[in-house]
Amino acid sequence: MPVIDEIRTRLDAAFDPRALDVRDDSAQHAGHSGAPAGGESHFSVTIRADAFGEMSRLQRHRAIHAALGPELVARIHALALDVDG
């Protein structure tokens, strides 16, 4: 399964978001240090979910990383997050 689909599936299952947009920005970073030739390394996520309502920004980011899991996070070089409750 492509990384972008794994991100969508895991975040959807964990947070039941009202809005979720996951973008693969890897092409913009081709040739940069840490960017693999095959892409699937740089992603941007915009997510809106009630689950984030009482969380601080740090707690929201930690919750997303936990939902993605260490094995998936380890395969991602950069993850930009825009999170709101």
| Chain segment 52-85, per-residue pLDDT in tens | 999 999 999 999 999 999 999 999 989 999 999 9
* Total tally of structural domains belonging to the chain: 1
> What does the pLDDT look like over 12-56, one tens digit per residue?
999 999 999 999 998 775 666 655 556 688 999 999 999 999 999
DSSP state of 52: G
pTM of the model: 0.86
Residues 66 and 29 sit within 8 Å (Cβ to Cβ): no
Nearest to 85 by CA among 37, 25, 26, 15: 15
∠ CA(64), CA(65), CA(68), 5° rounding? 85
Look up the CATH number of the domain holding residue 15. 3.30.300.90
**CA distances to 14, 36, 38 from 63, in Å:** 9, 26, 28
Q: State the amino acid at position 74 in one-letter form.
A: A
Tell me which residue range forms the domain holding 75: 3-84
